[in-house]
Amino acid sequence: MIIDLRSDTVTKPSKGMLEAMMQAKVGDDVFREDETVNRLESKVAKMFGKDEALFFPSGTMANQTALKLHTNPGDQVICDKYAHIYNYESGGASFNSGVSCKLIDGDRGMFTAKQVEEAINPDAYYYSKTSLVEIENTTNKGGGACWDFNEINKIKSVCENNDLRLHLDGARLWNAMVEKSINLKAYGDSFDTLSVCLSKGLGCPVGSVLVGNSDVMKEAIRIRKIFGGNMRQVGYLAAAGIYALDNNLERLVDDHLKAKEIGVALSKLYIVKYVEKIETNIVVFELNDDFEERKFMQQLADNNIHIINMGNRKLRMVTHLDYNDDMHHKLIKTLSTFGK
Ligand SMILES: *Cc1c(COP(=O)(O)O)cnc(C)c1O
């Protein structure tokens, strides 16, 4: 039994999902004739109360398209220092859109409206023009933390007052949704664009969706084409997305429960210095200064347990659809043998 906690992206399509994929009615999506893609896009748009949605092969491409939609070369984007768009998209913000990021020193990847206000450049020609604020919910590097919706609304007001656009990287928004019972339409109202991922907690093999109103989204399909993201009979993948939205949302609470139990087990170990507060399916922790990450990860690997090193001494475990009860019991038992 291999226990893979490196990411919630390691899931494989279930039997039910594969059946839904096999039965998909498809067409050439470049001609917008794939009825399953069209169905997924209108389903997601409707969930957020937005006009349009567009299916993407990756969350990175959906976010990069949003950056391009909202900025001009030379502009500046405000985001947290932990932001995925800054840390894990291969420098795409500067490569694709020619923008720089003004990093906020937030708390677990989250920041306040006041911090946004302070990060906006003055309106003088020798500054770069601040044009976009980007929020990530849940925060990946921040350990799956969930935003307070009141703060998001305050940030929305700051954006409105300063003529800034607001984008949500909602790769794991579904996790925040089940944990905090958030209202997706209220989210749709607050953001100009939102990207959501189907291939993480929801268990699809591929796919993210970008949502927004028509005035903004009319250019999105052109940018997706420029990035090479146009696809043909992709309804087979969209069918997996529809299946996941119909079947795999509510069960995310199980992943959250398991993550919290892992956190308790870890915090009992003498080699563990610190476990970040666990709100959803991500467990971020640090070892004591005199204990090497490599050694700990090797000990786990010897027991067929795989986790990820996030850098800056942070280790990460992520629970998911294919991490079952048996694996969970084995992990907790194995950790307990590492001493207290
Ligand atoms: C995974 C992830 C993405 C996109 O990842 P892809 O691998 O490109 O699909 C974007 N933002 C966050 C916060 C993520 O965790």
- Burial (CB < 10 A; 0-12, 13-18, 19+), residue 235, is buried
Cα separation, 261 vs 269, whole angstroms? 13
Nearest CA to ligand 1 atom 10: 59
pLDDT, tens digit, for every residue of 183-230? 999 999 999 999 999 999 999 999 999 999 999 999 999 999 999 999
Index of the ligand 1 atom closest to the CA of residue 83: 13
Rg over CA atoms, the chain? 20
Task: Tell me the CA–centroid distance for residue 32 and ligand 1, in Å.
Answer: 25
Please state the pTM of the whole predicted model: 0.96
Task: Tell me the CA–centroid distance for residue 159 and ligand 1, in Å.
Answer: 24
pLDDT, tens digit, for every residue of 101-149? 999 999 999 999 999 999 999 999 999 999 999 999 999 999 999 999 9
pLDDT band at 340 (very low <50, low <70, confident <90, very high): low
Q: Give the amino acid at 224.
A: R
Task: Tell me the CA–centroid distance for residue 337 and ligand 1, in Å.
Answer: 34
Task: Tell me the CA–centroid distance for residue 201 and ligand 1, in Å.
Answer: 11
pLDDT, tens digit, for every residue of 33-89? 999 999 999 999 999 999 999 999 999 999 999 999 999 999 999 999 999 999 999
Nearest CA to ligand 1 atom 2: 171
Task: Tell me the CA–centroid distance for residue 188 and ligand 1, in Å.
Answer: 19
Which of 84, 110, 175 should be mutated for ligand 1, with most atoms under 8 A from CB? 84
Q: Spell out which residues line ligand 1, taking CB within 6 angstroms.
A: 58-60, 63, 84, 136, 140, 169, 171, 197, 208
What is the chain's mean pLDDT, rounded?
A: 97
pLDDT, tens digit, for every residue of 280-314? 999 999 999 999 999 999 999 999 999 999 888 99
Task: Tell me the CA–centroid distance for residue 316 and ligand 1, in Å.
Answer: 15
Nearest CA to ligand 1 atom 3: 59
What is residue 339's predicted lDDT score, i.e. its pLDDT? 62
HEC profile of the chain? CCEECCCCCCCCCCHHHHHHHHCCCCCCHHHCCCHHHHHHHHHHHHHCCCCEEEEECCHHHHHHHHHHHHCCCCCEEEEECCCHHHHCCCCHHHHHHCCEEEEECCECCECCHHHHHHHCCCCCCCCCCEEEEEEECCECCCCCECCCHHHHHHHHHHHHHCCCEEEEEECCHHHHHHHHCCCHHHHHHHCCEEEEECCCCCCCCCCEEEEECHHHHCCHHHHHHHCCCCCCCCHHHHHHHHHHHHHCCCCHHHHHHHHHHHHHHHHCCCCEEEECCCCCCEEEEEECCCCCHHHHHHHHHHCCEECEEEECCEEEEECCCCCCHHHHHHHHHHHHCCCC
Index of the ligand 1 atom closest to the CA of residue 58: 9
Segment 155-165 shows an average pLDDT of 98
Index of the ligand 1 atom closest to the CA of residue 199: 9
Task: Tell me the CA–centroid distance for residue 245 and ligand 1, in Å.
Answer: 18
